[in-house]
Amino acid sequence: MLQEATREAIRFEVNDHIATITLNRPDKMNALNRAMRKELQDAFREVKYNPDIWIAIITGEGRAFCSGKDLLEKLPDEDGLVMSNDELYMFERHIYKPLITAINGACLAQGAGLALGSDIRVMADHATFGWPQVKRGISSVSGPTMFATEVPLAVALKYLMRGIPMTATEALELHVVHELVPLDNLMETTQRWAREILEASPIAVQGIKEAAVRAQGIADLHERITMARGVANRVLLSDDSKEGILAFKEKRQPRWSGR
C-alpha cells in the first residue's frame, strides 16, 4: 500500500501502515505558516482516524527540521478553520499511535514543540534543538510547558532563558532524543524504530500509549490504575489480542490486523 500526496507545505505518504509527514518549505527552513498548520492538521487527523495507519514519522526537507513560526507571515483574521500551534501540540499529544520524529537539522521553537509531541526522537548528529525566542523579545509555550517537564527545571531554564540551543550530544544526554546518527543514516534508523514497534500489535501499542498519556493528568494512583485497567480490558477484546494468544499457543509469529 503506497499513497503519496504533495501539498503546498508538506508531503504525506503511507506505505505498509507507516505514514511519513515531511515538512516541505526548505527555502524557509520549514518555518510554520498557516498553510503548513492546515496541512499538518489534516495529516494528524488522517493519522489519528485512519485504521490502516499504525505509526507515523515526522521529518523535514532540506537543512532544517523546523525553525519555528514564520515570523514574517502576514496572517489574515483567524476563521477557526486552522489550528493554532498550541492546538496542534494538544491534538498531536492525543494521537494514541506511535509518532517518531526524524530530526534532520535545526529543531527550534514551535518545531521543538512538535518534536516533543512525538514519542521517539532520532536526531542527526549535527542538528540543534532549542527555543531562541527570548532573543527576539518573544516568550515560548512549548519550552516552559513541555521541555521544562521533560528535564529538571533548572536545566530547562539554562537553555530557555538564554535562547541557546542544545547540541545533539546535549539533547541525547538529557534524554530529549533517543538516538543520534549521521544524517545519511537518519531515515534508515528511524525506519528501524518503526519496524521494531510494528512487530507488536498496533492495538496493544495504542493502548499502552493512551494509558501512559492519560495517566499524566491523573494525580491519584488508584484512578490511574483504574483508567489503565479499563484500557487494557478493551484491548483484550480485540482481534489482535486473540491472535496474539493463539500465535503464542501455536508457536508462530502473530499476524496483526489492527482490529
> 56-65 pLDDT, tens per residue?
999 999 999 9
Q: Are 10 and 39 in contact (CB under 8 A)?
A: yes
179: three-class secondary structure by DSSP: strand
Residue 254, pLDDT > 60, answer: yes
Q: Is residue 68 part of a domain?
A: yes
Residue 224 inside a domain? The answer is yes
Is residue 255 one of the residues assigned to a domain? no
Give 180-200 as a DSSP string: EE-GGGHHHHHHHHHHHHHTS
> Whose grid coordinates read 519550552?
143
Handedness of CA 39, 105, 156, 220 (dihedral sign): positive
Say yes or no: 164 and 111 in one domain: yes
What is the DSSP annotation of 92-103? HHT--S-EEEEE
- Are 149 and 244 part of one and the same domain? no
Judge contact between 98 and 205, C-beta under 8 A.
Answer: yes
> Is there a single domain that holds both residue 219 and residue 159?
no
pLDDT-derived band at 245, boundaries 50, 70, 90: very high
Residue 204 has pLDDT above 60, yes or no: yes
**Do 107 and 70 fall within a single domain?**
yes
Q: Are residues 48 and 138 in the same domain?
A: yes
Q: Mean of the pLDDT values across residues 16-40?
A: 96
Burial class (CB in 10 A: 0-12, 13-18, 19+), 179: middle
Predicted confidence band of residue 233 (pLDDT cuts 50, 70, 90): very high
Task: Flag whether pLDDT at 2 surpasses 80.
Answer: no
Looking at the structure, do residues 140 and 231 belong to the same domain, yes or no?
no
- End of a domain among 161, 182, 198? 198
Whether residue 115 is found in the same domain as residue 233? no
Asked if residue 256 is part of any domain, the answer here is no
CA 225 – CA 99 distance, rounded (Å): 24
Q: 102 and 52, same structural domain?
A: yes
Cross-strand pairs, 170:
none
Query: Can you give the residue range of the structural domain that contains 15?
Result: 2-198
Flag whether 151 is in a domain. Answer: yes
pLDDT at 6: 60
- Is 153 found in the same domain as 92? yes
CB atoms within 10 A of CB 180: 20
In a domain, 258, yes or no: no
Count of domains forming the chain = 2
Q: Tell me how long the chain is.
A: 259
What is the reported pLDDT for 79? 74
Mean pLDDT, rounded, of the chain: 94
What is the predicted pLDDT for the residue at 42? Answer: 96
Task: Give me the CATH number covering residue 225.
Answer: 1.10.12
* Cβ atoms of 168 and 105 closer than 8 Å: no
Answer yes or no: do 103 and 54 share one domain.
yes
Rounded CA separation 193/5 (Å): 24
Least confident of 62-76, 115-129, 229-243: 62-76
Nearest to 145 by CA among 175, 116, 178, 176: 116
pLDDT at 81: 87
- Does residue 94 belong to any structural domain of this protein? yes
* 73 domain-assigned: yes
Given this model, what pLDDT does residue 4 score? 59
Same domain? 167 vs 223:
no
Do 224 and 117 belong together in one domain? no
How confident is the model over 7-13, as a mean pLDDT? 92
Q: Are 98 and 139 in contact (CB under 8 A)?
A: no
Single out the residue of 89, 7, 82, 21 nearest to residue 53, CA to CA. 21
Task: Say if residue 1's pLDDT is above 60.
Answer: no
Burial tier of 14 (Cβ tally within 10 Å: 0-12, 13-18, 19+): buried
- Nearest 10 degrees: CA dihedral of 68, 103, 116, 151? -110
Residue 7 has pLDDT above 80, yes or no: no
Give the whole-angstrom CA distance, residue 54 versus residue 167. Answer: 31
CATH number at residue 51: 3.90.226.10
